[in-house]
Amino acid sequence: MTSELADSPFLRACQRQAVPYTPVWYMRQAGRSLPEYRAVREGVPMLTACTRPDMVVEITMQPVRRYSVDAAIFFSDIVVPLRAIGVDLDIKPGVGPVVAAPIRDAADVRRLRPIEPGDVPYITEAIGALVKELGATPLIGFAGGPFTLASYLIEGGPSKNHERTKAMMYGEPELWNSLMDRLTDITLEWLRIQVGAGASAIQLFDSWVGAVAPEDYRTYVLPHSRRVFEGLADLDVPRIHFGVGTGELLRLMGEAGADVVGVDWRVSLDEAARRVDPGKALQGNLDPAVLFAPWEVVERRARDVLARGRTAEGHVFNLGHGVLPNTDPDQLTRLTEFVHEHSAR
Ligand code: CP3
C-alpha cells in the first residue's frame, strides 16, 4: 500500500485517526440512480456484468468520478460467491436474488462447497485493474453477512418475515449452524481473495440481521460473524459491519470484531456511540429518503449527522442504507461537497 493510500481520510477515519475532513462514500453509490450506469448495463444481466472485469471497473469508477467520494466500493453483489460455487440463482430486476432450489436439509447444505480463487478469476483481475486506476482512493471489498446469505438461500428470495430462516434457526440449530459454518468459510475466503487482490478495507453487509432479537443474535449469528472478522485480522485492513434496523444489535455487532460499525438512520450517531464499546469508529447515517427533499433540508440533516458523528471516535459519512434508485445524482454531488467543506472548518 502506498503511503498516500494509507493516509487517505477514509482509512484514517476507520482507524480512529485525525482527518482533515470527514470522508464520505455511499452504499450502492454505483447503480440505477446513475444514467451512465444504466447506459453500460443496457442489455447485460446483473450477474453477467459482475463477471466482466471491464464492466466491473467502469461501474465501480463511475461514482468516484462523478461525486469525488473518498472510497470506491467494488461493483458486485452479495450472491456472486454463491453463484461462483454453483448455486442456481439469479438477480431479478426490481426483486433481488432468487434461488431456484432453496436449502431445506443437510444434503442441500453439503452441496455448498468451499470457494477457491480459481472460481473467480474475474474478481482478482477486476480488483487489480481498479487498484491501479484508483491510486490513493481506497477500494472497499464486501460480502453479505452469513444471516443475510442464509435468508436468501432458505427463503429462496427476498423475505419480509424470514419465517423459514427462523424456523431452521430455532427448530434445527445443528442444521442452521452447519449452514452458517459453510457460509462463513465461503465469506471469509471471498473477502480474503478481494483483499489479496488489493482491496484496502472490507464491509460485511448483514443487511437483514435486524430481524433477529439480541439474545438470538448472540446465540445463532454472532459466533459466525465473529469468525469472519477474526479470520481477517491478520490482513490489517479496516473491517466494517453494517445491517439495517440493528439499533438493538449495535453493541453485539461491534463485539463481532469490526473496526467500524455501520449505523442505519433509525438511531442517531451520538446514541450509537453510546451503544457500542470504545475502540470503534462509526459509519452513517443520513436517511437515503432525505435526498428526495429540497436541498436546504438535506443540508440541515447532513449538518446534524456530522455534529453527532463528532461524538464518535472516528466517523465515515454515509447514508443509513443504500442510494435509492430514483435519487437525483446532483443531490449526492452537492452532499459530498457539503460534507467535505463543512467538516473541514
Ligand atoms: O454499493 C455499491 O455501489 C456496490 C454494489 C452492490 C450491489 N449489491 C450491486 C447491485 C452492493 C454492495 C450490493 C450488496 C447487496 N446486494 C446487498 C447488501 C446491501 C444492501 O442493500 O443492504 C443486498 C441485500 C443485495 C441483494 C440484492 N441485489 C438486492 C436487494 C438487489 C436489488 C434488486 C432490485 O432490482 O431492486 C440486488 C441487485 C443489485 N445489486 C443491483 C445493483 C446495482 C441492481 C441491479 C440492476 O441494476 O438491475
Give the Cβ contact number of residue 216 at 10 Å. Answer: 14
Average pLDDT over residues 16-35: 98
* 32 in catalytic set: yes
* 226 in catalytic set: no
Rounded to a whole number of angstroms, the CA Rg of the chain reads: 19
335 in helix, strand or coil? Answer: helix
CB-facing half-sphere around the CA of 250: CA atoms within 13 A: 27
243 Cβ closer than 6 Å to some ligand 1 atom: no
pLDDT value for 1 = 87
DSSP 8-state assignment for residue 217: I
Q: Which residues does the annotation place in the binding site for substrate?
A: 28-32, 77, 152, 207, 321
Strands, E, within the chain: which ranges? Answer: 72-73, 89-92, 96-99, 139-144, 201-205, 239-242, 260-262, 281-286, 315-319
Displacement of CA 124 from its chain's centroid (Å): 19
Return left, alpha or beta for 164; rule: phi > 0 is left, psi -120 to 50 is alpha, else beta.
alpha
296 pLDDT band, cuts 50/70/90, is: very high
pLDDT digits (tens, 9 = 90+) for 166-197: 999 999 999 999 999 999 999 999 999 999 99
* 266 in catalytic set: no
CB-count exposure of residue 46 (10 Å: 0-12, 13-18, 19+): middle
CATH number of the domain bearing residue 81? 3.20.20.210
What's the number of domains the chain is made of?
1
194 Cβ closer than 6 Å to some ligand 1 atom: no
pLDDT digits (tens, 9 = 90+) for 96-105: 999 999 999 9
Q: Which amino acid is at 113?
A: R
Active-site option among 21, 28, 216, 303: 28
Average pLDDT over residues 56-76: 98
Residue 190: partners with Cβ closer than 8 Å, 6 or more residues away: 81, 115, 120, 143
Residue nearest to atom 29 of ligand 1 (CA): 96
DSSP 8-state assignment for residue 247: G
Residue nearest to atom 31 of ligand 1 (CA): 96
Average pLDDT over residues 305-316: 98
345 pLDDT band, cuts 50/70/90, is: confident
pLDDT value for 51 = 98
Full DSSP string of 9-35: HHHHHHTT---SS--B--TT-SSTT-H
Q: Which domain holds residue 89?
A: 3-344
Average pLDDT across the chain, whole number? 97
Atom of ligand 1 nearest to the CA of 322: 21
Closest CA to 52 of 76, 21, 68: 76
What does each C-alpha distance from 92 to 46, 53, 158, 270, 318 come to in angstroms?
8, 21, 11, 38, 27
Gap from CA of 274 to ligand 1 centroid (Å): 30
Active-site option among 12, 16, 41, 83: 41
Q: Which amino acid is at 237?
A: V
For residue 278, pLDDT beyond 90: yes
ipTM confidence: 0.94
